[in-house]
Chain A
Amino acid sequence: MRIYRCEDSLEGIFTGIYRAYEDHSDPKETELSLDEDPRLFAEEVQVVPDREKSKKVVRTLCRRFGEADYMGLCHALASRDDGRAQAVYRTVAQGLARNVAVGHLFDNLADDGVLRAFKLSQNVSRESQHLKGFLRFEELKGGVLYAKIHPGNHVLPFVMEHFADRFPQENFLIYDVGRELFGVHRRLGTWNLMQDSTGTLIREVEGVNRSPSEAEISELFRRFCHTITIEARQNPKLQRNMLPLHFREYMTEF
C-alpha cells in the first residue's frame, strides 16, 4: 500500500493525483489521504502542492471527462467527508483505465469508489443549490450586502460564483460561520476568500449598523411570506420537508 499525504485543497489533491500517475502506482494499492494518521506497512509519500502539476491534472480531467463531470469532481472535493480525496482518485483512475467517453465518468455506479464520489458530489451540489435560494442578505449602512451561512460542506466558492454573476454591481460579503471564512465581492470586480481565524473581520462587520431601510424591507418580506400562505392548505410538515429547520437560522422570514 502506498499513501499519498495531500494538503486539503484542490491544488493539494490534484497534485496528489498527478504524483500517483507519475509513479505508475496501482490504483488498488494506492490511497490519497488528507490526514496524518499513521498506517502500518504502508509506504508514505508527502505531496507538496504544485500549481503547475495541478493545472495539468485539471486540463486532463476537463479534456477526458468534460466540464460537467469535472465540476462533479470539484463538488465532491468540497465535501466534508474524510474520504473525499480517495473517492475522487478512485473515480478518476477507473475513468482513465476504462477510457470512458466525455460525460460518462460517473456512469459506473456499481463501483463503490464512483458511487461514493457521486454521492458526495450530489450532496454538495444540493447544499449549494439550497443556499443559492435560502441565503439572505442584509443591507449594511453604506449599501454593502452581508449574509451569514452555516453549511456542512465547503460550498462558499460555488455560492460566491453564483452571486458574483448575479450581482455584479454590488459589494457583498458572505460569511461561513463554521469555517470562519469570508467571501468578499467588490462591485464590478472579482471575488476572493479570506480566512478570519482571529475573528477580527467578523467583529468589525458585526459592528456596522444596518441601513436605514433594512428593517422596513425585511418586514415587508415577512408579511409577504405570511400572506401568500393559503390557510385551507396549511401543511407545516411539508414546509419542513422542503425547507429543513437548520437552514432557517439566518433566514429573514423565520
Chain B
Amino acid sequence: MMELLTSRKTLSVSEKLEILTDAAKYDVACTSSGVERKGDSTMTGNCVKAGICHSFAGDGRCISLLKILMTNECIYDCKYCQNRRSNDVPRATFTPEEICTLTMEFYRRNYIEGLFLSSGIIGNPTLTMELIYRTIYLLRTRYRFNGYIHVKAIPGADAEVIRSTGFLVDRMSVNLELPTADGLRVLAPNKHRKSILTPMRQIQNGIHQSRDEVALYRHAPRFVSGGQSTQMIIGATPENDWQILNVAEGLYRKFELKRVFYSAFVKVNEDKDLPALPGGPPLLREHRLYQADWLLRFYGFEAKELLDESRPFFNVMLDPKEDWAVRHLEYFPVEINRAPYESLLRVPGIGVKSARRIVAARRSTNLTFEDLKKIGVVIKRALFFVTCSGKMMYPTKLEEDYLVRNLTSKEDRIRFGTDGMSYRQMSLFDDGMFSGKMEASDKWQVVTGQI
C-alpha cells in the first residue's frame, strides 16, 4: 500500500493529464453554450451564449472544454467502462490545485472555453461530489475564474453538496448511462435508475427556484443557468431506436433537459454481457438519433411521428425528416409563399434558419426557386416537396418510390434495396460501411440545424 501511494505521488501533471483525459474521452458533451456572461474586471473569463469551439480532435469532435476526470480510481464496476474497478489500467487523481492551474493556463492561452469535470467514484458518491465541489469553489474564488464550467452530479451523493456545487457551475449533468433500467441492471450493477433520476429532478427543481428568485432579486445567485444535460450509450444494450427516442422525449418533457447526448458504444472491455461490434461503433445510428433529436427540439416533431412499434428503427438511407416526408405525401407540396412556418419546417432541405428567412423575405416579394437558393434552402432535396406561386421547379412525382430513388444515392440502393431497410435487418452488415455517407456535409448540417 505504501508503495502504491508513493508511486502514485511521483506521477507528473503531464502523466496525470494523459491518464485522466483518456479516461474522460468517451463522455460526449463538450459544448459551452447556453450562458451569456459579461467579463468582470476582477476575474478572468466570460461566457458566450452560442458557445465556442476551440479545436477539433482527430475524430472530428469539437474541443471546447478541458474535459477530464478528477480521478479514475473508481470503486464501481460498470462493464462498458475502461475505468471499472476490475480493469488493470493506470490510475491517477488530480489535486484541486492541479485542476485549477491547468484550467487557468489553458484558458489564458485561449485553448479552451472552460472546464468539464467528471469523476470516477472515489471512496463513496458524497466524498466524490465534495471533492468536485472543493475544486470548483477554489477555481471560482481563489483563481477568480469566470468562464464556463460543466460538472457531473454524482448519483447517490448528498443533496446538499450537489446543491452547493450547482451555484458555482454553468451546467450540470447526470449520465443516464443506458436507455433503460434493464440495461443498467445488466451492465452497471452499482448504478440504479432511481438514484440517477433523483439528482436530475433535484437539479430541475433548483433551476426553477433560482429562476424565480432571480426574477425577484436580480442579484440572487444563479443555479446551473446553462441548464442540465445527460447522455446515454447507444448499442451496448438491445434497445431499439423507438425506445431510445421515447426516453429522450420523456427527458425533455419531464425533466426539461437542455440536451440529451447519444454516444455510439465503443467496446473497450471484453465481457460476456457486451455485444460484439465487428463493424465498430454504431456511428450511423448515433447520427440518425441526433437528427431525430433535432427534429424533436426545433422542428415540432413528436417521437411517435418518426417511429413506432412496427417500425422501431431509423431508415439507413434517408434522414428521419425525409423518411417522414415520403411516408406523409398528403402534406405536400407546400406552397413557399403561403404555408405557415410550421409546415415549411417539415420540408426536407429547409432548416430552421431558411424557414425563418422565407417567412421574412416573402413579406416583401413573391419568392421564386432562384430566391430559395440564395436564402440557403437545399434545393435538390426541397424541390420535390414545394411549389413557388403554385409551380413546381420541374415536373416531379409525389410517389414514395420515385422520391426515395431521387433522395438516395445509387450505391446505397444497390446495397440495401429500395425499401430502405432498417438496422435490424442489416445487423449482419457493417455499420462502418456507411461512414462515408454521413461525413462532412451531413454532420455539418446537423450542427447548423439544416436537416
Contacts and interface: CB of A to CB of B under 8 A. Distances in A.
B14 A110 contact: no
Interface string A199-243: 000000000000001000111110111111111111111110111
B106 interface: yes
B361 A243 contact: no
B357 A242 contact: no
Contact of A224 (B21, B62, B108, B375): B21
Contacts of A163: 110
A238 B443 contact: yes
Interface string B420-446: 000000000000000100011001100
B14 A232 contact: no
A145 to B, nearest CB: 7
A231 B52 CA distance: 24
Contacts of A228: 21, 24-25, 57, 61, 63, 67
B364 A239 contact: no
A133 B54 CA distance: 4
A169 to B, nearest CB: 6
Contacts of A232: 266, 280-281
Contact of B58 (A135, A136, A239): A239
B54 A134 contact: yes
Given A165-B38, A242-B60, A223 B14 contact: yes
A229 B53 contact: no
A133 to B, nearest CB: 4
A26 interface: no
A158 interface: no
Contacts of A168: 39-41, 43-44
A229 B111 contact: no
B59 interface: yes
B293 to A, nearest CB: 19
Contacts, number: 179
A243 B56 contact: yes
B66 interface: yes
Contact of A109 (B56, B108, B266, B374): B374
Contacts of B280: 232
A108 interface: yes
Interface in B17-75: 17-18, 21-22, 24-26, 38-41, 43-46, 48, 50, 52-64, 66-67
Given A233-B283, A241-B440, A115 B374 contact: yes
Given A110-B367, A237-B440, A243 B266 contact: no
B66 to A, nearest CB: 7
A31 interface: no
Interface in B72-91: none
Contacts of A251: 55
B361 A107 contact: yes
A242 B62 contact: yes
Contact of B109 (A134, A169, A252): A252
Contacts of B39: 164-168
A7 interface: no
A239 to B, nearest CB: 5
B59 A234 contact: yes
A170 B46 CA distance: 14
Contacts of A218: 109
B17 A223 contact: yes
Nearest to B30: A228
B367 A235 contact: no
Contact of B375 (A98, A109, A136, A226): A109
A72 to B, nearest CB: 13
Contact of B110 (A104, A147, A230): A147
Contacts of B67: 228
8 nearest A-B pairs in the assembled complex, by CB-CB distance: A238-B60, A107-B360, A233-B59, A165-B39, A229-B58, A235-B60, A227-B21, A229-B57
19 contacts: A107-B357, A110-B374, A137-B109, A166-B147, A167-B44, A167-B108, A168-B39, A217-B105, A217-B106, A220-B102, A224-B66, A228-B67, A233-B60, A234-B59, A239-B60, A241-B443, A242-B60, A243-B55, A252-B111
Given A168-B39, A223-B17, A230-B25, 15 more contacts: A109-B360, A110-B368, A188-B41, A217-B106, A217-B109, A225-B63, A227-B17, A228-B25, A230-B59, A232-B281, A234-B58, A238-B60, A242-B60, A243-B56, A252-B109
Interface of B: 13-14, 17-18, 21-22, 24-26, 38-41, 43-46, 48, 50, 52-64, 66-67, 102, 105-106, 108-111, 113, 147, 264, 266, 280-281, 283, 357, 360-361, 363-365, 367-368, 371, 374-375, 435, 439-440, 443-444
Interface of A: 98, 104, 107-111, 115, 129, 132-139, 145, 147, 162-170, 188, 213, 217-221, 223-239, 241-243, 251-253
